Amino acid sequence: MKKVFTVLTAMIIAVTAIAQDDDYDNLLIYKADQYWEKLIREAVKLTTKTKSKNDALAYY
């Protein structure tokens, strides 16, 4: 029973760790393609949202 609980817990943690927002993928693409104006506009949009306001990736 202890092994089953451990395996289920590990699976739940793995699934939640993979499921991240795709908001920051656009920032990385714009940075790689050197679209600085689009990068700044998208970062400003993300930093004004209350959901992602405290995330450090949007400020980079």
pTM reported for the whole predicted model: 0.55
SS3 39: helix
| Residues 6 or more apart whose Cβ sits within 8 Å of residue 31 | 39
Residue-wise pLDDT tens digits, 5-55: 898 888 777 766 555 556 788 888 898 999 999 988 988 888 888 777 777
Calculate helix-pair angle for 23-32, 36-48, nearest 10 degrees.
Answer: 160
Most distant pair of Cα atoms in the chain: their distance: 55
Total residue length of the chain = 60
Q: Are 36 and 5 in contact (CB under 8 A)?
A: no
Structure token digits, residue 9: 């817990």
